[in-house]
Structure 1
Amino acid sequence: MEAVNEFIAQAAASPWVYLVVFAVVLVDAFFPPVPSESVVIAAAAAAVAVGTPSLPLVIACAAAGAIAGDNLTFAVGRSVPLDRIRFLRGPRMAAALDRARAGIHQRAGVLVLSARYVPVGRVAVNLMAGASRIAPRRFLLLSALAGASWALYSVTVGVIAAHWLGGNALLAMIVGIALGVSAGIAIDAALRAVARRRDRHAAARVATPATAPVTACATQAAPQPEEARR
């Protein structure tokens, strides 16, 4: 354990750690298997446990990578037809794209901000925002807010884990990453539940007006009493 913590301390002291944070977060914006949350959380936990790297710089690099990656994904969505992108054809990504397509114009702000915390969700939303011709300046502002809040959240998880475990770098990284992954799963589940509830309400609103004219016509066509005809 001591040898592992010593290795973590040496790695965290390297100036390259900031470039790694930026690059990993950038790539994760359009390639979800890259564990950007885990890297940011681990860097923050190491900052508390061993004193390096600098927490403000970790936040800045993570936010910059998120904003750059999200806008790159947005640009791809604007310039490349989504049906030509092979990895979007999987069932999970296709479902995420359908949810994004259903509300990107009405709830662009909510979708961009919330999807930043869900790996597959952020790729789908950012691509759909580009394909739907959301104004680039509007998306830049939304992605900046999302990237900054996500970076601050990820670093906070790492800091809490490190303080909770008394400065043990390895355990803080493991627990922090577990907390971050669990939070992402919970947010994804909540977004799915909200989408399903909204779809049910929309279906109910569509079905209700369709029955109203039938009722009205039936009422008008009902035979009148003999006294009324006289």
Structure 2
Amino acid sequence: MVDTLTMWIESLMSTAWVYPVIGALIFGDSFIPVLPSEIPLNLVGAWSGARGEPNIGVMFIVAVMCAVVGDNLCFLLGTRLMPYVNRIRRGSKTYGALVWVKRNMRRNAGAAIIIARFIPSARLLLTILLGSVRFPWPMFFIFDTLGVILWAAQALAIGYLGGVIFSGSPLFAMLLSVVLATVLGFLVQRTQNKIMDALDVRRGYAEAHN
């Protein structure tokens, strides 16, 4: 089973098809976050670190281009996608992300755009909401591009490091990179919340965590 899976992954990673396939997943994630697109990047990075292919530089460029194009199209379609947001069920994980988005939009939209790139549900909801309220598109483009660059770089770097360390077991490296990336995303969100809470206290007010 493991050998079959390794052969299947290697057959994809060793061909030029890996770039459009991963690029399509990243683009699609901008609208339908079924599979967080950092996971394929973690896997590509790990395989590249362990086997020397795919080309991590090319993958980085493809990832940034596809993510930026997808995010900006989602932003432009913000008002048309609002019914999706309005149907989110209270108490769900996605609703929790929506609360985070609304809270951080009021604080600092630029920082929220960058940080939300590391939180799968939040980045989609934030993009839709900013588009729906006519947030200045040039500012969105700048902050989103910066966030995408940081996001793609860390996703590939985490995978690549795992692949180099565990070059004899690329599948284990891929699994480890996904776990590390998930933990990092969680820590980014928690750290950002604590920083913003501290700033709220200094400004003399606090917002409810509901």
- TM-score calculated relative to the size of structure 2: 0.84
Task: State whether structure 2 residue 138 is matched by structure 1 residue 132.
Answer: no
How many angstroms does 1:72 deviate by? 2.0
Contact between 1:5 and 1:168, CA under 8 Å: does it hold in 2? no
Aligned CA-pair RMSD? 2.5
**What is the CA–CA distance in structure 1 between the aligned matches of 2:160 and 2:113, rounded to whole Å?**
25
- The alpha-carbon distance between structure 1 residues 33 and 190, as it changes in their structure 2 partners (threshold 3 A), is farther
How many angstroms does 1:112 deviate by? 0.4
**What is the CA–CA distance in structure 1 between the aligned matches of 2:190 and 2:34, rounded to whole Å?**
18
Correspondence for 1:90: 89
How many angstroms does 1:67 deviate by? 0.9
**What is the CA–CA distance in structure 1 between the aligned matches of 2:54 and 2:81, rounded to whole Å?**
41
**What is the CA–CA distance in structure 1 between the aligned matches of 2:125 and 2:42, rounded to whole Å?**
24
**What is the CA–CA distance in structure 2 between the aligned matches of 1:86 and 1:129, rounded to whole Å?**
12
Structure 2 gap ranges (5+) = none
Contact between 1:30 and 1:73, CA under 8 Å: does it hold in 2? yes
- Percent identity, aligned pairs only, is 23
How many angstroms does 1:29 deviate by? 1.9
- The alpha-carbon distance between structure 1 residues 34 and 138, as it changes in their structure 2 partners (threshold 3 A), is same
Task: State whether structure 2 residue 11 is matched by structure 1 residue 10.
Answer: yes
- The alpha-carbon distance between structure 1 residues 198 and 27, as it changes in their structure 2 partners (threshold 3 A), is farther
Correspondence for 2:48: 47
Correspondence for 1:80: 80
SS at match of 2:77: helix
Correspondence for 2:190: 189
Question: Over residues 153-206 of structure 1, what are the superposed CA-to-partner deviations in whole Å (9 max), with x where a residue is unaligned?
Answer: 11100111011113422111111111112212222333444566666x399648
Structure 1 segments of 4+ aligned residues over 6 angstroms from their partners: none
- The alpha-carbon distance between structure 1 residues 58 and 139, as it changes in their structure 2 partners (threshold 3 A), is same
Q: Matched residue pairs, number?
A: 203
Correspondence for 1:153: 154
**What is the CA–CA distance in structure 2 between the aligned matches of 1:35 and 1:81, rounded to whole Å?**
19
Correspondence for 1:24: 25
Contact between 1:50 and 1:167, CA under 8 Å: does it hold in 2? no
Letter paired with 1:80: R
Contact between 2:46 and 2:163, CA under 8 Å: does it hold in 1? yes
Correspondence for 2:115: 114
- The alpha-carbon distance between structure 1 residues 205 and 12, as it changes in their structure 2 partners (threshold 3 A), is closer
**What is the CA–CA distance in structure 2 between the aligned matches of 1:20 and 1:202, rounded to whole Å?**
47
How many angstroms does 1:96 deviate by? 2.8
- The alpha-carbon distance between structure 1 residues 195 and 27, as it changes in their structure 2 partners (threshold 3 A), is farther
Which has more radius of gyration? Answer: 1
